[in-house]
Structure 1
Amino acid sequence: MSNDLTWLLLRNNNSFLVKRVPEGPVFSKEPGNLRNLHSAKYSGLVNNKTIDVSQLPNGAIQVKSRKAKTTPHTIAKAHHTTTIRPRSGGRRALGITSSFARRGYRPDLRTAALSRVSALQRAQREPKAPHARKTRGNKSKAAAAAAAATA
């Protein structure tokens, strides 16, 4: 079945639709949808070539692409999988996502895949401790005077 016919059948009713606001955008939770937007371009169910970015339990990020000649319901051999180790830098993510574009495998999804990988890496980072704030102006003069008076 062609991608266009599949989209016509699935666009109004599938189990992954998220309709929160009647006038707002319609989102989708399907695997392989990088932007989570309900559109034919980003749909993981409709397109033969999809890129799926997910986080593994050990903290690694998995970038999975479907081989073009397979159906969405085939076995694991129908996917090409690349893993980005935890705490890897952004250059590694850029290299992996741009490798898909260099091979001609959905170059239009490169920025979406890179933003998804970057967001997952950003979520893994431990937040920095806030710096101690210095008192400035009249408050610091008053604090210095109080410290001198007690000493």
Structure 2
Amino acid sequence: MAAERTNVSNELVWQLTRSQNAYLVRRNTGGGSQFSRDPLNLQNKHSLKYAGFANTKAIGVQAAENGGVTVITKKASTPQQPAQTQVAVNYGPKTSTRKIYKGVATLAAKNGYRADIREEAVARVSAIRQSQQAKKETPAKKARGVKAQAVEASE
């Protein structure tokens, strides 16, 4: 039995689910902003452009628990089997950042994703990798002037 493609367009799915879906987050502050918790949403913005559940091709980048990066892509070939449409590629914490950039860009280019989405995926990888780096400790500030004299006098 051959797999059948659905005849539902991305725009129709978005029109039906844009006001209510499991990923929608509404905030009263900031003028009633709307965000998305969709794992295939690169910007966490509630819009058709970034909605992974509404688009046939989507890409998502998340931080892995071990300090690495997980890239999730959505295959357009099997929309009727949601459990099998997502493919995850894991990059470990020791993998160089440039290698992850290249992997994300080639993965997105090979599957025919839009160029602006590819750039945003690489930017998301960059932000995740930067957040995973250890913070540099700043040395304690030395007292100057009157405060330094007061410290020396007390010793």
SS at match of 1:45: coil
Are the counterparts in 1 of residues 109 and 118 from structure 2 also a CA contact under 8 Å? no
Partner residue in 2 for 1:3: 10
Report the Cα offset of residue 90 of structure 1. 3.0
For the pair 1:81 / 2:97, whether they are aligned, the reply is no
Alignment coverage as a number of residue pairs: 146
In structure 2, distance between residues paired with 1:87 and 1:8: 42
Rg: which structure is higher? 1
Are the counterparts in 2 of residues 27 and 38 from structure 1 also a CA contact under 8 Å? yes
SS at match of 2:90: strand
What letter matches 1:45 in structure 2?
Answer: F
Partner residue in 1 for 2:4: none
TM-align CA RMSD = 2.5
- Cα 1:41/1:145, change in 2 over 3 Å: closer
Are the counterparts in 1 of residues 66 and 92 from structure 2 also a CA contact under 8 Å? no
Partner residue in 2 for 1:90: 97
What letter matches 1:79 in structure 2?
Answer: Q
Partner residue in 1 for 2:37: 29
Partner residue in 1 for 2:106: 99
Matches within 5 A, 1:1-151: 1-21=8-28, 23-71=31-79, 73-76=81-84, 78-103=85-110, 104-140=112-148, 142=149, 146=153
Superposition TM-score, scaled by structure 1 size: 0.79
